[in-house]
Amino acid sequence: MKFTKELVDDLANKLLFELSEEENKMVLDEFEMIDQNMKKIEKIENIQTVLPMTHPFALEDVVLRNDEDIEELTQEEVLSNAANKNLTSVIVPKVVSE
């Protein structure tokens, strides 16, 4: 599939936004770069035999801690020290302005 200005404009229109000429060119340039990289990947010998990666590192190299039972606090215990609370939550002051 070859990406064209018209195709990019049509796709943008279907997504309910418009692209300026500069934005359209930027999208086309990015698609061209992606297409070039895909062609490089296709040239790799035996690429079909390579299994897809699910993680960026070997999972056998990852050491996880053992799960241990811990003493959990009840909701009542958690809320017992709260200065301002309702039935299920601690009420805190708003820290983000509008």
Q: CA of 83: how far to CAs of 47, 65, 73, 88, in Å? A: 62, 36, 18, 13
* pLDDT at residue 97 tops 80: no
pLDDT value, residue 33: 95
pLDDT value, residue 61: 78
Model pTM? 0.49
Encode pLDDT of 8-62 as tens digits.
999 999 999 999 999 999 999 999 999 999 999 999 999 889 888 888 887 787 7
More confident residue, 82 or 97: 82
